[in-house]
Amino acid sequence: MSDKKVRISELLQQMTLTEKIGQMSQLSGNYGKVSEELAAKIRRGQVGSVINEVSLDVINEIQRIAVTESRLGIPLLIGRDVIHGFKTIFPIPLGQAASWNPTLIQHAAHISAVEAASCGINWTFSPMVDISRDPRWGRVAEGFGEDPYLCSELAIAMMQGYQQDNFNGLGAIASCAKHFVGYGASESGRDYCTTNIPESELRNTYMPPFKKLADAGIASFMSSFSDLNGIPASGNEWLLKDILRKEWGYQGFVVSDWESIAQLQIHGLTENDKESAYEAANAGVDMEMVSNTYEKHLRELITENRLSIQQIDSAVSRILSLKHDLGLFDSAYTKQSDYPALANGHHLKLAKDIVLESCVLLENKRQVLPLSLDSLNSVAVIGPLADDGYEQLGTWIFDGDPDYSVTCLDAIKNEVGDSIKINYVKGLQNTRDCSQDEFHSAKEAVLSSDVAIVVLGEESILSGEAHCRADIGLPGAQEALIKTLSSCGRPIILVVMAGRPLTLESILPDIDALLYCWHPGTMGGPAIADLLFGKHSPSGKLPITFPRKIGQIPIYYSQKHSGKPATEDSFIHMNDIPQRAEQTSLGMSATHLDTHFSPLYPFGYGLSYGEFEYRDITTNKQQVRIGEGIEITATVTNTGQLAAVEISQLYIRDLVGNITRPIKELKGFQRNFLQPGETRKLCFSIHTKDLAFYNRKMKLTTEPGLFHVWIGGCSTTKLQAEFEVVK
């Protein structure tokens, strides 16, 4: 037996039932002090973990109580939502996803972990890998977008950044795959709502990132708040036992979401807390976050033989196993001087690097960007988000410090120096402000400038948990502001900071360029200024589809063909409909009558200061045997005037399946930096197991048959080849 197993089994033999149940309980800290009640519970061995305590002195003190004053001296897991940074705030995860850069994401997570660990935290509730195709959902900000493949690749990188190589390395902390599963599909994008997801869809779309994180060794899973097909995830035995444990063989532990066990009663699954504790523990939730149904009822459920002591022992040993892996039994204390300073120069530099790669250039009419300092005498900077160090941080930034933030206004001033005049007007007090009091001065500022940089979007409070929107246009009078400014006849460069895709179609005629920066975090300003003034080319690509109109949601690139798919000709303008039209006269295809069926911006889209041309797609064989691989190559040339990074993407389509298959599926991507005129050969390898999907019988299978394959700079690429999978 390994040392770990010996230690755990010795502890289990010595533990009382109260102490075992204690390990399965996570309590909320008292935010900066040790309450007598918490201290007493820790002393009695009734606490396995504490959430939401970030004062190092308090954490060291509660660890001291656990280690020296509880009977068995078991240290605590200290959990915290470190979602996109700790003190140094990186772009929101959806923004990071737009970088398609696993390496940078891993570095950022590593820095977040080191900063958090220096304050005594040893467990983060991240990454969130809920696939979401509904930008109304506020938590879309927290995930990696709509695609299971991209999400999995980036989430694994983030997890490795937190956990490092099996917790070896300064500042490694445990991470958590959440929210298992389907939470991103909540009805109408309203947080916590019901999800109804067919099993094949669960397995083919929502589960893959979780499965990949489980295989890659993520320390913990969090069960979702949401009701999954009638059985809320935190009491779902099929999900947590049959799939996670039996089918996937997952060894880490499962924590509930905040009070999600007690909420089983509110869902109407159980009559009372005792039954909620039963359903959750029996399903396989190992630790209860904050509510206390386990503390109150597990003993009785064991006495009544409804739960076995083996079930409890398995849960406890999984929790102890993580404490061992984190080295907490050797030392539970944190010495801040062992760690680099918070938000130090290196951390801030990385924060800037990742913004440089996460901004997506969506419009650049007549190549108005990059701006050239030589041709400018004055620049207007307008907008409620142009100089707000807090709002640029985004959601989930409990520990972030806006004092470190550098805003767009600061950075633009810094970039242009004294020779160019900056005319700054806020225009609106916040993004929801409907007053037009400052429109006149904003207009004056633009009229006396050569160009206007207008920074609009959403304040951070408009996205994140429980912050969903039914209308995802620019809030307040921002649209009116843009229209007012566009009448000045100066180039309008719109910089958007937001936690989700916004519906921006109606303002496109009024702007000349659109740089989508998500909530960029601490170093948003300097990176955005570098992009605007051409020190660096934008290279981000959308990790989520942008709808034209809300009514198109859910809209995503990997949808399926209907029996009557829409085509370019299907678009009917409402005004073209005759006074009286026969029922079938408008054609019969899967479109809305009042908007084009295509999105405003598709998944994978993003412009650059380079221009990229793809050619010569070919495969190294026409047929690939099941169990083998195939190579797909193409060339990409930068035909533009400026050097830039291009993210090249590989998509496939399985033409006929035992269940219908998406019209495109991302299967690979790579980033290349290309000088003007430079051509690069792209080579992607796919193994037939990458083509597998869960069929009608819920069996993971690669089916023989014809596949289309595409390479390009966006999901709409037309550069296509084909190959056949044979037995």
Chain positions contacting ligand NOJ, by CB under 6 A = 81, 125, 178, 257-258, 465
Residues present in the chain in total: 727
Q: Are 79 and 50 contacting, i.e. CB atoms less than 8 angstroms apart?
A: yes
Who's near 260: CB < 8 A, 6+ residues apart?
Answer: 223, 224, 225, 232, 233, 234, 289, 291
Q: Are 618 and 650 contacting, i.e. CB atoms less than 8 angstroms apart?
A: no
Q: Which two tokens stand for residue 278?
A: 């039963």
Distance CA 502, CA 136 (A): 9
Query: What residues are labeled active site?
Result: 257
CB of 266 to ligand NOJ, least distance (A): 15
Using the minimum distance from each CB to ligand NOJ, give the nearer residue, 222 or 416.
222
Backbone φ and ψ of 453, nearest 5°: -105, 115
Q: Are 554 and 197 contacting, i.e. CB atoms less than 8 angstroms apart?
A: no
Who's near 251: CB < 8 A, 6+ residues apart?
Answer: 318, 321
Using the minimum distance from each CB to ligand NOJ, give the nearer residue, 186 or 431.
186
**Residue 548 DSSP symbol:** S
CB of 518 to ligand NOJ, least distance (A): 19
- Amino acid at the residue 337: S
CB of 277 to ligand NOJ, least distance (A): 19
Using the minimum distance from each CB to ligand NOJ, give the nearer residue, 46 or 126.
126
CB of 258 to ligand NOJ, least distance (A): 4
Q: Which two tokens stand for residue 307?
A: 């739960």
- In sequence order, what DSSP letters do the residues of 588-642 get, joined into one string? -SS--TTS-SS-SB-TT--B-SS-EEEEEEEES-SEEETT-EEEEEEEEEE-SSS
CB of 190 to ligand NOJ, least distance (A): 14
Distance CA 518, CA 624 (A): 41
CB of 125 to ligand NOJ, least distance (A): 3
Using the minimum distance from each CB to ligand NOJ, give the nearer residue, 519 or 653.
519
Distance CA 362, CA 546 (A): 11
Q: Are 84 and 96 contacting, i.e. CB atoms less than 8 angstroms apart?
A: yes
Using the minimum distance from each CB to ligand NOJ, give the nearer residue, 81 or 654.
81
Distance CA 686, CA 633 (A): 11
Using the minimum distance from each CB to ligand NOJ, give the nearer residue, 195 or 449.
195
CB of 120 to ligand NOJ, least distance (A): 17
Distance CA 382, CA 444 (A): 11
Tell me which residue has its CB nearest to ligand NOJ.
125
Using the minimum distance from each CB to ligand NOJ, give the nearer residue, 256 or 431.
256
Q: Are strands 231-232 and 227-228 parallel, antiparallel or unpaired?
A: antiparallel
Using the minimum distance from each CB to ligand NOJ, give the nearer residue, 244 or 485.
244
CB of 624 to ligand NOJ, least distance (A): 41
Who's near 246: CB < 8 A, 6+ residues apart?
Answer: none
Q: Are 288 and 280 contacting, i.e. CB atoms less than 8 angstroms apart?
A: yes
Distance CA 144, CA 252 (A): 23
Is residue 260 classed as helix, strand or coil in its secondary structure? coil
Using the minimum distance from each CB to ligand NOJ, give the nearer residue, 158 or 302.
158
- Tracing tokens 């080295």 back to the chain, one arrives at 327
CB of 81 to ligand NOJ, least distance (A): 5
